[in-house]
Amino acid sequence: MTTKRPKLYAVPASAPCAAVEAALELKAIDYDRVDLPPTSQILIGPVRYGGTSVPGMRLNGERLVGSRLIIHRLEALVEEPPLLPLVGSPFYAEVLEAERWGDEVFQDASRRIIVAAFQRHPQAMEAYAGDKLPLPIGLLRPAIPLTARVMAMRYKATDELARADLKALPGRLELIESWIAKRVLGEVRPNVADLQIGSSIRLLLSIADVRPLIDGRPAATLADYFPPLAANVEAGVLPAEWLAAPAGP
């Protein structure tokens, strides 16, 4: 068990931060959350928790960076409820592979898509920040367009890549649904892969232009492990041609 309240360093609406927060709540671990303005983790993170990305955590003297590392550390500290199948079980390797893919592929894609939306509508970032930031949003508002540009550079959220991510989304949802069909994902009690993938689906569902691509599909149910985001990117922000179905033969 933990002996000191963990401190979670997060950015509002971040999918990997939401995954860690869900793990903390499932494990009934009391914690403190510190919200950082987007991109400020590049400067603040190395001092506070030893990294330049979020989530970061200080846990019993350790400094941890990254949702997978943090969640696995929590799993080792608190056994119940388990977020991993038993080692050697038929699902163990597939859950780890789905978790890796959710972190390394799907999460990056969802981030590029929403950052591309923020590039076109920077003020939408205000709603995602809500009242969680340490400074009044009025003081941060003049910097929001610049923050959106910095995020685009940091996450390589070019129009070309974001459009490719949207084109790939149906195939990626089919992969997720193949895992759901095999019961690797989507059970009553979430596992580490559900947290990684479901948090990104929750984020994508907050983009009105993207929501119709996901709504009603089995993959959409993974967002149910998380409270819905109060914010959204309104319809019409992303170019219509990015969302058009491929032409038939």
Q: What is the mean pLDDT of the chain?
A: 92
Q: How large is the average pLDDT for residues 177-205?
A: 98
The ranges assigned to domains in the chain are 7-77, 92-243
- Look up tokens 């491929």; give the residue: 246
Does residue 247 register a pLDDT over 50? no
Helices then strands, counting H and E runs in the chain, come out as: 12, 4
CB 218 within 8 A of CB 177: yes
Q: How large is the average pLDDT for residues 103-115?
A: 97
How many CB atoms are located within 10 Å of the residue 134 CB?
10
Alpha helices, H only, 62-135: 67-77, 92-101, 107-120, 124-129
Distance, in Å, from the CA atom of 83 to the CA atom of 75, rounded to the nearest integer, reads 7
Cis peptide before 81 (omega within 30 of 0): yes
Asked which of 16-20, 44-48, 134-138, 143-147 is least confident by mean pLDDT, the reply is 134-138
- List phi, psi (to 5°) of 28: 55, 45
Distances (CA, A) of 131 to 16, 23, 94, 126: 20, 23, 38, 9
Does residue 147 register a pLDDT over 60? yes
Does residue 248 register a pLDDT over 60? no
Does residue 244 register a pLDDT over 50? yes
- The shares of helix, strand and coil residues in the chain, as percent rounded to the nearest 5, are 55, 5, 40
Confidence class for position 3, pLDDT limits 50, 70, 90: low
- Look up tokens 């890796």; give the residue: 100
Distance, in Å, from the CA atom of 186 to the CA atom of 135, rounded to the nearest integer, reads 38
Q: Which CATH architecture has domain 7-77?
A: 3-Layer(aba) Sandwich (3.40)
Distance, in Å, from the CA atom of 92 to the CA atom of 84, rounded to the nearest integer, reads 7
Does residue 2 register a pLDDT over 60? no
Does residue 1 register a pLDDT over 60? no
Question: Which tens digit of pLDDT belongs to each residue from 19-68?
Answer: 999 999 999 999 999 999 888 899 999 999 999 999 999 999 999 999 99
- Look up tokens 């992303």; give the residue: 238
Phi-psi region of 11 (alpha: psi -120 to 50; beta: other; left: phi over 0): beta
Name which residue leads in pLDDT, 134 or 87: 87
Asked which of 31-40, 70-79, 171-180, 213-222 is least confident by mean pLDDT, the reply is 31-40
Give me the pLDDT at residue 146, please: 81
Question: Which tens digit of pLDDT belongs to each residue from 201-241?
Answer: 999 999 999 999 999 999 999 999 999 898 999 999 999 99
